[in-house]
Amino acid sequence: MFNLPETKFNFGGDEYIYAEISRDMRVESNFKALAVTEELRKREIPGITDIVSSNASYLVRYNPDIIAARDLLDYIKKIDLTKSDPAELNLSVRIVEIPAWYDDPVTREYSRRFKNRHPEPDLTNFEYVMKLNGFIDKESFIQSHSETPYLITMVGFLPGTAWHFPLGLQPDEIIQAPKYNSPRIDTPERSIGIGGAFNVIYPVNGPGSYQLIGRSAISVVERTNHLEELQETSFLARPGDIWKYRPINESQYNEITSDVRAGKYRYKTKDIDLSPLEYVEKGKKYIHELMGDF
């Protein structure tokens, strides 16, 4: 029976317990981090003040005046152990569609603007990522990137930023790219970036170093709460959710962004149950079954 990686625990000062499941990024490790942190939240343990899952680890903050560090560590270890068997895990997540205008003029302009910081300044970021990953034409690159579902493995840095990792692919199938030599001082909001094997959508304007390949037509952070799906929370991203890109053209992009500004846009989502065991056993086939006709 395949078991998920064994977790290593460390104290961070007198308020934190850090749990490292694996040092390299593995989807299975993220499944375990999601399952453990979800269970900890459900139990509402007195003294725990915050719980955060990351790519292949998780962090628990606690009040040492309420719960002893060693007692809490023993408690977490017991929960962690129960989440080491993928057969015992089941995650309730959403699939979310992200309409994306690939190789748009804004991210092309930012490629030119900050080319002195780039490994290949004569190429746009889009062209650079295509070249590195062996794509000859734009259409085949867009098809490959957009047909892959991406698991949100971590949120943070700028509020609303979601790191998402490709599902169901072998290492040699993953679109990857190094970051800028030195970060840009500005990045347009809703830009889609690739750094290593991870994708992000920049929630607001700000610095960044990921390769820009296009723009999302929809907001991933909403401060006015005028969009129906973002009225309870300002952030679209939830750890464990799956984002799926849909290629759109300039006309569709303008129409969607107009609907977003008017508060009329409705996010396309689907609630599903994700089985880490089936993912481990079937890989890409399971992801294809899970996505269905979404």
Domain boundaries, the chain: 8-87, 92-291
Q: Are 158 and 206 in contact (CB under 8 A)?
A: yes
SS3 190: coil
Give the angle subtended at the CA of 37 by the CAs of 31 and 39, to the nearest 5°.
Answer: 100
The one-digit pLDDT tens for each residue of the chain (294 residues) are 456 778 999 999 899 999 999 888 888 899 999 999 999 999 999 999 999 999 999 999 999 999 999 999 999 999 999 888 887 788 889 999 999 999 999 999 999 999 999 999 999 999 999 999 999 999 999 999 999 999 999 998 777 899 999 999 988 999 999 999 999 999 999 999 999 999 999 999 999 999 999 999 998 988 776 777 777 778 888 899 999 999 999 999 999 999 998 888 999 999 999 998 898 889 899 999 999 888
CA neighbours closer than 13 Å in the CB half-sphere of residue 129: 32
Query: Do 8-87 and 92-291 have matching folds?
Result: no
Check residue 193 and give its pLDDT. 97
Check residue 110 and give its pLDDT. 97
Q: How far apart are CA 162 and CA 193, in angstroms?
A: 11
CATH of domain 8-87: 3.30.1360.40
Residues in the chain: 294
Query: What's the token pair of residue 102?
Result: 């690939």
Query: What's the fold here for domain 92-291?
Result: Cyclophilin (2.40.100)
Query: What's the token pair of residue 204?
Result: 């607001």
Check residue 235 and give its pLDDT. 87
Check residue 225 and give its pLDDT. 65
Query: What's the token pair of residue 73?
Result: 């560590």
Burial of 137 (0-12, 13-18, 19+ CB in 10 A): exposed
Q: Are 208 and 110 in contact (CB under 8 A)?
A: no
Check residue 77 and give its pLDDT. 95
